[in-house]
Amino acid sequence: MKIKILLVILILLCLLSCKENKVEPKTLRDTVNLETAPDQTSWDNDVIFVDSSFTKARLKAKRARVYEKRMQTVLDGGVYVEFYSRWTNKRTSHLTADMAEINDRTKDMLARGNVVVISDSSQTKVETQLLNWNNKTQMFYSTEFVKVTSPKEIIQGYGFESDQNLDNYKIFRVSGERK
Average pLDDT over residues 32-39: 78
**What integer best gives the mean pLDDT of the chain?**
88
SS (H, E, C) 39-80: CEEEEEEEEEEEECCEEEEEEEEEEEEEECCCCEEEEEEEEE
Q: Is the dihedral of CA 65, 67, 70, 72 positive or negative?
A: positive
Task: Say what the pTM is.
Answer: 0.77
Domains and CATH numbers, the chain: 51-178 (2.60.450.10)
**Residues β-bridged to residue 96:** 80, 116
Query: Which residues, 6+ apart, have CB-to-CB distance to 125 below 8 Å?
Result: 116, 117, 118, 119, 148, 149, 150
What is the percent of the chain where pLDDT is above 70? 85
* Per-residue confidence band for 103, with pLDDT thresholds at 50, 70 and 90: very high
Q: What is residue 25's DSSP assignment?
A: P
- Alpha carbon distance 64, 76 (integer Å): 7
- Report pLDDT digits (tens) over 147-166: 999 998 899 999 999 998 89
Identify how many contiguous H helices and E strands the chain contains and give both numbers.
Answer: 1, 10
Q: What local confidence, expressed as pLDDT, does residue 8 receive?
A: 75
